[in-house]
């Protein structure tokens, strides 16, 4: 959970995944995108819990799509990134870049 305006690491990742998926996607698609790129395994529950938190901060909005056209098919929830979410992503990126500016871990390590 980031301080006001800043994103926690996993929030950052979830929002970026949503952006990569075109700004709107179902929970499972977001999970799959993260799972594809992450180096460690990710829990679906963690994705949904984070999405629910982002929803509360109004960084994303959720809507129920039409039920899948099969017997017993239920409405699926899809998430869309909001302007506030995009702004938060920007802030977090700039913040990180300020910190990364001039830092070269590789050369540091060699210098020692």
Partner 1 sequence: MMPPVWAGCLRVLLPPRLRSAVMRDTCTTFENLEARLGRRAALRWLRSQVRGAVGPSLRHRLESGAVPMRHIRCAVTSLGADVRQAVRGAVHQPGFSVAVVLTLGLGIGGTVAIFSVVDAVLLRPLPYLDAERLVRVWESNAMLGFLEDGPSPANFLDWEARNEVFDGIAAWWPETAIYKSADRAEQLEVAHVSGDFFRLLGTEPLLGRLLSPDDAVGSWYDNSGNHYGAEPLIAVSHQFWSSRLGADPQAVGRVIEVNRVLWRIVGVMPASFALPRADIDLWNSWDLGARARSTAGQPSRDSRFLGVVARLREGLHMSAAQLRLDALAAALATEYPATNAGWGIRVTPLSGQLIDPARRPLGVLSGAVGLLLLTACANVAGLLLARSTARRGVGVVGDVRHHDLRQGPQPEIFLPYAQNPYPALNVVLRTRPGEAPSIAAIEALVTEINPDQPVHSVVAMRELVAATLARQRFAATLLIVFAGIALLLTTVGTYGVVAWSVSRRVRELGIRSALGARSSEVRVMVVREGLGLGMMGVLMGLGASLLLIRSLDGLLYEVRSDDAATRFIVGAGLLVVTAAASYLPARRASAVEPTEALRSE
Provide the binding-site residues for partner 1, judged by CB under 8 A.
1, 27-28, 31-32, 41-46, 48-50, 52-53, 74, 76-77
Smallest separation, CB 74 to partner 1 (Å): 7
Smallest separation, CB 102 to partner 1 (Å): 35
Smallest separation, CB 95 to partner 1 (Å): 23
Count Cβ atoms within 10 A of the Cβ of residue 40 and give its class: 0-12 exposed, 13-18 middle, 19 or more buried: exposed
- H helices of 1-112, in order, are 9-20, 27-37, 44-56, 83-100, 105-111
User: Which of 108, 78, 58, 40 has the alpha carbon at shortest distance from 9?
Assistant: 40
Q: Which is nearer to partner 1, 20 or 28 (CB)?
A: 28
Q: Which is nearer to partner 1, 41 or 107 (CB)?
A: 41
Element (H, E) at 75: none
Q: Which is nearer to partner 1, 19 or 48 (CB)?
A: 48
């Amino acid at each position: 959970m980031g301080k006001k305006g800043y994103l926690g690491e996993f929030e950052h990742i979830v929002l970026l995944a949503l952006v990569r998926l075109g700004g709107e996607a179902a929970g499972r698609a977001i999970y799959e995108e993260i799972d594809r790129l992450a180096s460690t395994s990710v829990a679906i529950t963690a994705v949904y819990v984070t999405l629910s938190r982002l929803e509360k901060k109004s960084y994303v909005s959720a809507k129920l799509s039409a039920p899948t056209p099969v017997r017993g098919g239920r409405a699926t929830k899809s998430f869309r990134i909001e302007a506030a979410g995009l702004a938060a992503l920007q802030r977090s990126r700039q913040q990180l870049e300020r910190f990364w500016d001039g830092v070269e871990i590789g050369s540091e390590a060699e210098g020692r």
